């Protein structure tokens, strides 16, 4: 026991201090679009397993909400229109903000700043529905390296104690009713965070007989009552599975924490 | 030797032969029912069984041969004459969940199954839907669920009766950051009299989805069968495709697949050891193992660009070969990890406070483990009397428990020898494997087996970082061969994982079956919980560390 204590003390602090560091250059990150002219070769669309990329008339459209982060489009793009983005500030508050265009279009809407209600204390109930790697990354965001609790974030056992649900996985038919009931058990005001490409769009299972089409498809079927059950998620975190820093960014975004609201950094981009 | 282009998918045996082969499984300790499922062939249905004969594999797989050995694995098919078949479960308990799944997906009824009810598909699905029957039009005309002799879609838990017996329903959504499933505890006071586990909440329709996408994209779906086991699923898929096509991958790719698979095993075992520490209130261990798991994920990211090594292993080889600099960095990180584990593992396994919480808790007797065909660390922790050469490298070293257990009469009796796919069917890739086994079958045994596997995986990775011969990936044909069966059998970190592909007339995938190790082991958890205290259940559960989504697919 003394030996263990000795080693624990000698290890010292391991928590990453700089917030939202770029991923290392050997990491695949998420794909991103540049303004480099596309030659319409269509290689990206043909290798994409989830139809997240489409090409038409010199323009490319990329939906990060359907992206499994396999990196195939990046390594097959001859014109450097699609590159890897290693920024960890990737969460957004509107689904359409995950859809990227090349050539770039001006941002259509600016989301209003979220309320500061949860800025210093945020209690989350995690609901897993079929992507256990994402669950492991959620658990990792709680470990000594990423330490999300330094921002006042706690994962709680009951939806009654929660301010938000964080949903991972594509939400198949048998989890839809449990998810709705769990959400209704969260006292208002409440938020929903869709974590990972599976939770956002159900990839790679969407469109099947199991109706595993993501969080929004399930919320859309909820009865709208006074005070409003949310018709869609409040924050979307892309990635498959989302890196712990992606998750922390999404959580801080939901809280309205200032650290998440600095202008979206470009991050290191390359092949 | 490797089966050239898999086995013919059209080869059928008579039902009597099929029945005799399956029924022989309980007679030999080294025989396994790896998979029992069905498939549709035009208007007819066939039962399909994959049998493992470990002693054949041991005899024929001479270490060092170039081809991947699949001898000892037999695929049998028989055409059914009606929509029911006599249940194998009364004589072969390993079949009990397989047969319930067959009904859920095909509406083929196992007559005489002792506890027949739905397994995967829940009430929200319409009662006349059998998703793997007649793809494209899943509704069966003329089938009336209300008058059906079976109780499909309605689910009744086993009732334990008696004065003072009460039930604790838990789930589907659990208190921690963990997957959903329902546990129904029937208790007398604080003692669990019976635990029934109902899963299926995460069913995503995987086995049908993989027949709907181009086969080159199937690997992205296959990896997600249980996404915390990405690498092993990708390797099993790749082996199945390579067996279909008769392709041999390069030595470098084979070595890197082992590196990837063992990194995944390291990350998951270390992470779950941390989970055990939190469940017994040893927070220093929990934070340390959580941190060291991060080190392994960092190595995985260095190797394949993704912490979970998604899209790294693919049919034909691996995504890329590491540079010299990368190999050097991996070796350095591995040495550092080994140094830290040299104090962290004894910190748990030689900690009397921790041992007190783990010893004698959640015991699975060796004969039960064999009857229900438990696999992976859970199976090897309840092994039959262990042969000295197999177990000497690991048993009893850390704290004397295993060595003493070998001589205790009641322990390990009626069990099977320790089963590890890497040793039984993969000796060519794993000549230097040391199989860890215990006979006591409690939480402590499962933890000790996993700790021993951590040590072994460190050595397996270190020995393969210098293999450089051959390309990363070899070319694959555009179409898969017609009417063939390919199988991939892998020791994932939870145990035996099977991917099976059957192709049709134009090489399209007509049936794709995945058998996750958890499918065997959930029954082990139900057995382990029996007679335990309610508050020891989380510890039992974590010591198995099972996948819910891999079971539900």
Kindly tell me if the per-residue pLDDT of B2 is higher than 50.
no
Contact B229, B267 (CB under 8 A): no
**Cα→Cα distances A224→A230, A232, B333, Å:** 8, 12, 53
Q: Which residues of B489-509 are buried (b: 16+ CB within 10 A; e: fewer)?
A: bbbbbbbbbbbbbbbbeebeb
Kindly tell me if the per-residue pLDDT of A256 is higher than 60.
yes
Q: What are phi and psi of B541, to 5 degrees?
A: -60, -45
pLDDT of residue B25: 87
**Least confident segment among A183-197, B178-192, B379-393, B478-492:** B379-393
Count Cβ atoms within 10 A of the Cβ of residue A223 and give its class: 0-12 exposed, 13-18 middle, 19 or more buried.
exposed
pLDDT of residue B393: 38
| Number of H-type helices and E-type strands within chain A | 9, 11
Q: Mean pLDDT across chain B, nearest whole number? A: 87
Kindly tell me if the per-residue pLDDT of B388 is higher than 50.
no
SS3 B81: coil
SS3 B537: helix
pLDDT of residue B133: 85
Kindly tell me if the per-residue pLDDT of A263 is higher than 90.
no
**Least confident segment among A81-85, A126-130, B192-196, B387-391:** B387-391
Residue tagged 């690991």 (tokens): B394
pLDDT of residue B56: 64
Q: Encoding tokens for residue B380?
A: 């090897």
Whether A265 and chain B come into contact, CB under 8 Å, resolves to no
Contact B240, B247 (CB under 8 A): no
Give contacts of B343 with chain A, Cβ < 8 Å: 3-4, 7
pLDDT of residue B496: 94
Across chain B, which distance is largest between two alpha carbons, in Å? 69
Kindly tell me if the per-residue pLDDT of B28 is higher than 70.
yes
Residue of B172, B175, B311 with shortest CB distance to A178: B172
Q: Name the residue with higher pLDDT: A229 or B76.
A: B76
A239: left (phi over 0), alpha (psi -120 to 50) or beta: left
This model of the complex carries an ipTM of 0.93
Closest-CA distance of chain B to residue A258, Å: 27
Whole-number Å distance between alpha carbons of B96 and B36? 10
Kindly tell me if the per-residue pLDDT of A264 is higher than 70.
no
pLDDT of residue B57: 61
Give contacts of A172 with chain B, Cβ < 8 Å: 201-205
Closest-CA distance of chain A to residue B6, Å: 26
pLDDT tens by residue, A90-109 = 999 999 999 999 887 766 55
Kindly tell me if the per-residue pLDDT of B512 is higher than 60.
yes
Kindly tell me if the per-residue pLDDT of B193 is higher than 90.
yes
Count Cβ atoms within 10 A of the Cβ of residue B144 and give its class: 0-12 exposed, 13-18 middle, 19 or more buried.
exposed
Q: Could you tell me what percent of chain B has a pLDDT over 70? A: 88
Task: Using CA coordinates, name the residue in chain A closest to B288.
Answer: A8
pLDDT of residue B408: 42
pLDDT of residue B126: 82
- Angle, in degrees to the nearest 10, between helices B443-462 and B537-544: 30
Can you say how many angstroms the Cα of residue B78 is from the centroid of all Cα atoms in its chain?
Answer: 25
Among B219, B222, B227, which would you mutate to test the A interface (most chain A Cβ atoms within 10 Å of its Cβ)? B227
Kindly tell me if the per-residue pLDDT of B509 is higher than 80.
yes
pLDDT of residue A9: 87
Q: Encoding tokens for residue B341?
A: 């584990």
Residue of B122, B294, B343 with shortest CB distance to A174: B122
Per-residue pLDDT band at B187 (split at 50, 70, 90): very high
Q: Per the CB < 8 Å rule, is A129 touching B177? A: no
How many other CB atoms are there within 10 angstroms of residue A259's CB atom? Answer: 14
CA nearest to B440, candidates B471, B484, B408: B408
Give contacts of B326 with chain A, Cβ < 8 Å: 26
Whole-number Å distance between alpha carbons of B239 and B425? 12
Output the CA angle A65-A68-A74, nearest 5 degrees. Answer: 100
- Give the predicted TM-score (pTM) of the model: 0.92
Q: Per the CB < 8 Å rule, is A241 touching B290? A: no
Q: Name the residue with higher pLDDT: B413 or A32.
A: A32
Whole-number Å distance between alpha carbons of B521 and B171? 19
CA trace torsion B96, B100, B103, B105 (10° rounding):
-120
Whether A85 and chain B come into contact, CB under 8 Å, resolves to no
pLDDT of residue A112: 61
Give contacts of A66 with chain B, Cβ < 8 Å: none
Across chain A, which distance is largest between two alpha carbons, in Å? 68
Closest-CA distance of chain B to residue A108, Å: 32
**Cα→Cα distances B123→A174, A175, B120, Å:** 8, 11, 10
Whether A14 and chain B come into contact, CB under 8 Å, resolves to yes
Ordered structural domains, chain A, with CATH: 30-105+266-270 (3.30.70.3270), 122-260 (3.40.50.12280)
Q: Per the CB < 8 Å rule, is B203 touching A172? A: yes
Q: Per the CB < 8 Å rule, is A143 touching B351? A: no
């Amino acid at each position: 026991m003394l030996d263990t204590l000795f080693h624990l003390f000698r290890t010292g602090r391991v928590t990453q201090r700089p917030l939202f560091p770029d991923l290392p250059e050997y990491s695949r990150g998420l794909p991103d679009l540049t303004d480099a002219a596309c030659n319409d070769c269509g290689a990206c669309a043909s290798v994409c397993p989830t139809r997240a990329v489409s090409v038409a008339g010199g323009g490319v459209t990329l939906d990060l909400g359907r992206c499994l982060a396999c990196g195939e489009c990046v390594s097959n793009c001859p014109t450097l229109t699609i590159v890897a983005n290693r920024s960890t500030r990737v969460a957004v508050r509107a689904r359409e903000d995950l859809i990227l265009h090349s050539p770039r279009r001006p941002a259509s809407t600016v989301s209003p700043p979220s309320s500061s209600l949860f800025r210093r204390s945020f209690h989350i109930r995690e609901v897993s529905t079929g992507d256990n790697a994402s669950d492991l990354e959620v658990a990792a965001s709680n470990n000594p390296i990423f330490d999300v609790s330094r921002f006042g974030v706690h994962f709680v056992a009951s939806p009654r104690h929660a301010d938000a649900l964080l949903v991972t996985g594509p939400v198949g038919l048998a989890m839809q009713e449990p998810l709705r009931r769990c959400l209704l058990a969260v006292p208002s005001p409440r938020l929903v965070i869709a974590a990972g490409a599976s939770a956002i769009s159900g990839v790679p299972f969407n469109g099947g007989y199991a109706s595993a089409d993501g969080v929004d498809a399930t919320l859309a079927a909820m009865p709208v009552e006074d005070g409003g059950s949310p018709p869609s998620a409040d924050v979307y975190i892309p990635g498959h599975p989302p890196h712990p820093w992606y998750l922390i960014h999404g959580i801080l975004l939901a809280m309205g924490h200032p650290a998440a609201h600095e202008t979206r950094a470009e991050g290191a981009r390359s092949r | 030797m490797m089966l050239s282009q898999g086995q013919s998918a059209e080869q059928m045996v008579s039902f009597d032969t099929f029945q005799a082969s399956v029924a022989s499984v309980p007679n030999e300790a080294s025989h396994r029912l790896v998979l029992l499922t069905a498939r549709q062939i035009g208007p007819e249905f066939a039962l399909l069984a994959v049998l493992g004969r470990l002693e054949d594999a041991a005899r024929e797989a001479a270490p060092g041969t170039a081809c991947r050995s699949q001898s000892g694995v037999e695929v049998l098919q028989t055409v059914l004459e009606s929509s029911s078949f006599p249940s194998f479960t009364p004589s072969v308990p390993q079949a009990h969940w397989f047969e319930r799944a067959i009904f859920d997906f095909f509406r083929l009824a196992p007559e005489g199954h002792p506890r027949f009810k739905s397994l995967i598909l829940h009430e929200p699905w319409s009662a006349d839907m059998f998703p793997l029957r007649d793809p494209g039009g899943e509704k069966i005309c003329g089938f009336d669920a209300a008058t059906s002799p079976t109780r499909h879609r309605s689910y009744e838990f086993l009732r334990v009766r008696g004065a003072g017996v009460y039930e604790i329903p838990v789930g589907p959504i659990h208190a921690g950051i963990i997957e959903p499933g329902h546990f129904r505890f029937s208790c007398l006071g604080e003692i669990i009299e019976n635990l029934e586990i109902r899963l299926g909440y995460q069913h995503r329709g995987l086995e049908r989805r993989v027949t709907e996408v181009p086969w080159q994209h199937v690997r992205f779906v296959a990896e997600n069968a249980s996404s915390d086991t990405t690498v092993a699923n990708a390797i099993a898929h790749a082996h199945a495709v390579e067996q279909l096509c008769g392709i041999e991958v390069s030595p470098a790719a084979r070595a890197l697949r082992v590196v990837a698979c063992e990194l995944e095993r390291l990350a998951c075992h270390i992470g779950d050891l941390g989970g055990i520490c939190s469940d017994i209130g040893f927070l220093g261990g929990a934070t340390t193992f959580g941190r060291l798991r991060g080190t392994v994920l960092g190595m995985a990211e260095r190797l394949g660009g993704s912490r979970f090594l998604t899209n790294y292993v693919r049919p034909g080889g691996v995504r890329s070969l590491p540079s010299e600099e990368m190999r050097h960095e991996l070796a350095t990180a591995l040495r550092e990890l080994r140094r830290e584990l040299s104090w962290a593992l004894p910190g748990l396994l030689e900690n009397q406070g921790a041992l007190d919480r783990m010893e004698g808790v959640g015991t699975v007797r060796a004969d039960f483990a064999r009857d229900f065909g438990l696999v992976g660390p859970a199976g090897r922790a309840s092994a039959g009397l262990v042969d000295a050469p197999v177990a000497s490298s690991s048993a009893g070293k850390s704290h004397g428990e295993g060595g003493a257990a070998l001589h205790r009469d009641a322990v390990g009796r009626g069990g099977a020898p320790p089963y590890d796919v890497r040793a039984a069917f993969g000796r060519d890739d794993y000549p230097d494997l040391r199989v860890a086994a215990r006979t006591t079958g409690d939480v402590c045994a499962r933890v000790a087996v996993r700790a021993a596997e951590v040590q072994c995986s460190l050595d397996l990775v270190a020995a393969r970082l210098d293999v450089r011969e051959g390309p990363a990936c070899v070319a694959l044909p555009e179409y898969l061969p017609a009417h063939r069966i390919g199988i991939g059998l892998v020791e994932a970190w939870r145990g035996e994982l099977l991917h099976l592909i059957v192709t049709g007339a134009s090489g399209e995938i007509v049936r794709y079956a995945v058998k996750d190790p958890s499918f065997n082991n959930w029954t082990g958890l139900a057995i382990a919980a029996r007679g335990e205290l309610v508050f020891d259940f989380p510890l039992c559960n974590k010591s198995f560390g099972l996948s819910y989504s891999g079971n539900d697919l």
